[in-house]
Amino acid sequence: MVLATHIDPDELINELHDHPHGHRGKHGGSGLSHITPYSSRYASKTELSKFRIPHDGAPADVVHQLLKDELDLDGRPNLNLASFVGTYMEAEAEKLMIENLSKNMSDADEYPAMMDMHARCISIIANLWGVQKGEKAIGTATTGSSEAIHLGGLAMKRRWQEKRMKEGKDTSKPNIIMGANAQVALEKFARYFEVESRILPVSEKSRYRLDPELVKQNIDENTIGVFVILGSTYTGHYEPVEEISNILDEYEKKTGVDIPIHVDAASGGFIAPFTDSGAGFKWNFELPRVKSINTSGHKFGLVYAGVGWIIWRDESMLPKHLVFELHYLGGTEESYTLNFSRPGAQVIGQYYNLLHLGYTGYKAIMENALQNARLLSRALEASGWWRCVSDIHRKKGDFYYAKGKPAFQDSDSSADYNAGLPVVSFTLTDDFKKKFPKVKQAAISQLLRAKQYIIPNYPLPPNEEKTEIMRVVVRESMSIDLLDRLVSDILAVTEMMMNTEAEIDLAAWAPFSGSVEKTHASPGISSKERLAGKSRNKMENGIHRSVC
């Protein structure tokens, strides 16, 4: 949620409007008229108050139409290729969720059937993640991966504190390791829960992900854990969980210091278990050092926004004093969440997907998404104008672009390609930039926005920020027809820019709202500043920009 400041409606109206008729902000006679068939009866002489609750309200059909018209100004979810969050569910799943919208996850005693489904989801996901015999996995649904990361990090901090206190050692200087490609929620955890965040630079050599050698150099007895990401939001790369686990094993042998791993599998947690490529290495509870894993049900779990999951490999990994025993509304429940009331419908939607799709259904969807992402990657590189920073379309073990190198397409199985998310991150080639220096990727991104595609253009993480990438997330809803049109439109816009003599100022195309609400809410940056790659509030020694 962004912060918003109070708006004085009287001052605002006086600044923005002349109102000789004296009806603005009030319900005049025309406001109650039902002669006109459309909401235009709330026209120039009468409007509903936006910043102070109206005295009398308005008819339901009118408010519905007014809000519907305004919401039409939003982008189309299916063409929002920037987001990992799912935008499609089947009609039967939607119906189930609508029927259960009023159910609250905090009212466990009132909705026992829903809570049984929640427990089954935990069990199913834990088994998908390789829970070991003799260990009793425990977990919970959350409102998303951000909450789940905070819960996982907090459990690591408390386990570290408890161990240090037993040993009579200082507990005032905890630190946690993560790469500069980490999603902002990981750094939020460190800032909110007073843990030093050791954000390690990424590089082309490390494939823009956490560098195991830098992990080795930055851990110490105060390290509460390492956040390892199974699917970078920048490029889709899986971070080397097993390699980092081996490094921590060696460190423990030398020093006796046991440093756990939390795997942020926000996207990859529902991809790696279902694809032939897997993650390319061990990443889950098969590794003893992996103590907890989170994922987003509303990403590749294929549920609408509002559900995440976190699971600890054994209940001993969750400090007892973090768990609250609730005597509420007639029952007794245990709770470990940052929220209290939270939606239950998304949990039901998740259980529906797990039952309906099964293993083979999820596998078909994830393999298809990877195949479509490979096709898009090959098409872009075949143009000679673009190169892909992501590498899921390259033969397993081949990680880098080379001019003129034939595309690998001898297999339909993801096992023969590099493992990763179905994400295509691409940038203009060096040859193209030399030949057409006035063509800017930001301009191409904005012109594609005019065609209703939302494809972000942003710098790679700090240390590699001179390279800007555009990024497409290939979700289930990316059909082959839409993919074909997308390729054609990207290349058409690129060619149009090549044939344009002057450098175009595309500030007017910027998607950020110029509304008065935007002015009074999060200030952000101006269109010209954004297109120039500037930032108003850079995080020093942290994550400058990241896309959810």
Q: Return the closest-CA partner of residue 458 out of 442, 444, 437, 440.
A: 442
Q: In what order do the strands lie in the sheet with 457-459?
A: 386-388, 423-428, 468-473, 457-459
Give me the mean pLDDT over the 286-293 stretch: 98
What's the whole-model pTM score? 0.87
Task: Give the C-alpha separation, 387 to 441, whole Å.
Answer: 13
Task: Give the C-alpha separation, 423 to 457, whole Å.
Answer: 14
Q: What share of the chain is helix, strand, coil (3-state, %, to 5)?
A: 40, 15, 50
* Per-residue pLDDT reduced to its tens digit, 430-470: 999 999 999 999 999 999 999 999 999 999 999 999 999 99
- Helix or strand or coil: residue 397? coil
Could you tell me if 174 and 193 are in contact, meaning their C-beta atoms sit under 8 angstroms apart? no
Q: Return the closest-CA partner of residue 74 out of 443, 511, 510.
A: 511
- Helix or strand or coil: residue 427? strand
- Helix or strand or coil: residue 221? coil
Could you tell me if 399 and 207 are in contact, meaning their C-beta atoms sit under 8 angstroms apart? yes
Instruction: Judge whether residue 284 has pLDDT over 80.
Output: yes
Could you tell me if 208 and 181 are in contact, meaning their C-beta atoms sit under 8 angstroms apart? yes
Distances (CA, A) of 494 to 28, 47, 187, 377, 467: 52, 44, 36, 16, 18
* Per-residue pLDDT reduced to its tens digit, 144-190: 999 999 999 999 999 999 999 999 999 999 999 999 999 999 999 99
Task: Using a pLDDT cut of 90, give the percent of the chain over it.
Answer: 72
* Per-residue pLDDT reduced to its tens digit, 260-275: 999 999 999 999 999 9
According to the model, what pLDDT value does residue 528 have?
54
Tokens (6 digits) for 462 = 């700090």
Positive/negative CA dihedral, 390, 394, 396, 397: negative
pLDDT band for 329, please (50, 70, 90 cuts). Answer: low
Distances (CA, A) of 95 to 141, 346, 349, 362: 21, 12, 10, 21
Lowest mean pLDDT of 63-72, 77-86, 461-470, name the range: 63-72
Task: Give the C-alpha separation, 266 to 148, whole Å.
Answer: 9
According to the model, what pLDDT value does residue 119 have?
96
| Beta carbons within 8 Å of 42's beta carbon, 6+ residues apart | 31, 48, 58, 62, 66
Instruction: Judge whether residue 255 has pLDDT over 80.
Output: yes
**Which is it for strands 331-335 and 324-328: parallel, antiparallel or unpaired?**
antiparallel
According to the model, what pLDDT value does residue 520 have?
62
Q: Return the closest-CA partner of residue 309 out of 148, 162, 505, 474.
A: 148
Tokens (6 digits) for 121 = 């989801």
Could you tell me if 144 and 298 are in contact, meaning their C-beta atoms sit under 8 angstroms apart? yes
Task: Using a pLDDT cut of 70, give the percent of the chain over it.
Answer: 82
- Between residues 98 and 327, the one the model is more confident about: 98
Task: Give the C-alpha separation, 41 to 47, whole Å.
Answer: 9
Instruction: Judge whether residue 2 has pLDDT over 70.
Output: no
Distances (CA, A) of 8 to 165, 302, 329, 519, 520: 52, 41, 40, 13, 10
pLDDT band for 61, please (50, 70, 90 cuts). Answer: confident
Could you tell me if 251 and 223 are in contact, meaning their C-beta atoms sit under 8 angstroms apart? no
According to the model, what pLDDT value does residue 9 have?
64
| Tokens 């809410």 -> residue | 521
Rounded to 5 degrees, φ, ψ at 138 are -140, 145
Q: Where are the alpha helices (H) located in 38-179, listed in sequence order?
A: 60-71, 91-99, 112-128, 145-166
Task: Give the C-alpha separation, 52 to 299, whole Å.
Answer: 36
User: Which contiguous run of DSSP H or E holds residue 414?
Assistant: none
Q: Where are the alpha helices (H) located in 224-267, listed in sequence order?
A: 241-255
Q: Where are the beta strands (DSSP E) in 152-210?
A: 175-179, 196-200
